[in-house]
Amino acid sequence: MPDLFSIAGKTALVTGGSRGIGRMIASGYVEAGAKVYISSRKAEACEQTAAELSEKGTCIALPADLSTEAGCRQLADALAGREPRLDVLVNNAGNTWGTPLEQFDDAAWDRVLSLNVKGVFHTTKFLVPLLEEAATDDDPARVINVGSIDGIHVPVLETYSYSASKAAVHQLTRHLARRLAPRITVNAIAPGPFESKMMAATLDSFGEQIAASAPMKRIGRPDDMAGIAIFLASPASSYMTGAVVPVDGGIATVG
């Protein structure tokens, strides 16, 4: 029982780990004793976050652009040059786009789906060998995809490609879970509103209303995200795969 929720000594990669939800997860993993690599398209931001998190443990920056298949391969190769195995992959890197329906063009789809869906697929594909090296019969390697409650319910904002991409991430999670079992589990977190750069404008304008409408009456906190991510990476979740877990204060239950 003392080790049921432990991830101490594991090696994890968190994409989009320089800010927002990715940083919350990376920080939680570092403090829980994991060796954490973070990836971000912006090298300077990635290095700065890694330096800050390294004050609590081990965090290493591996900048990469995951919106292309070549970028995903580059990241996997860079990690393979440093590590013989990978215990946990967190596919968090993502983008959003909000535009009225009549103005929603190809760019609004291509930019979002390339990173949010294809990036998740290609990154996972290229890292399967390292994940399989870490897997044991009792403790599989983990893939944790970050979806959204906007892929579960219909959002108010006109973010058509984002909500569609997150629904695709949820289904991709189930599909990969079936394919990669039993050596690798694949689960998804579907966050609700959390303090992040992506949510900043929305929370500035509507944060109080969003919190009031949520059954739990608040916005998500960093430890809420760290907690579910640690659980999904720990032995406690070793028999769980193909699940999409809302972490949203109950918002998906009311609309």
Catalytic machinery residues: 162
The half-sphere exposure of 173 on its side-chain side, counting CA atoms within 13 A, is: 30
Question: CA 150, CA 190: separation in Å to the nearest integer?
Answer: 8
Locate the DSSP E strands across 3-125.
11-15, 35-39, 58-61, 88-91
3-state class (DSSP) for residue 255: coil
105 burial level (CB within 10 Å; 0-12, 13-18, 19+): exposed
Element housing 113 (H / E)? helix 106-113
Report the SS3 class of residue 168.
helix
Quick one: DSSP state of residue 54?
A: T
Sequence length of the chain is 255
CA distances in angstroms from 30 to 11, 63, 91, 146, listed in the order given:
10, 18, 17, 18
Q: For the chain, what is the largest distance between any 2 Cα atoms, rounded to a whole number of angstroms? A: 56
Round to the nearest angstrom and report the end-to-end CA distance of the chain.
38
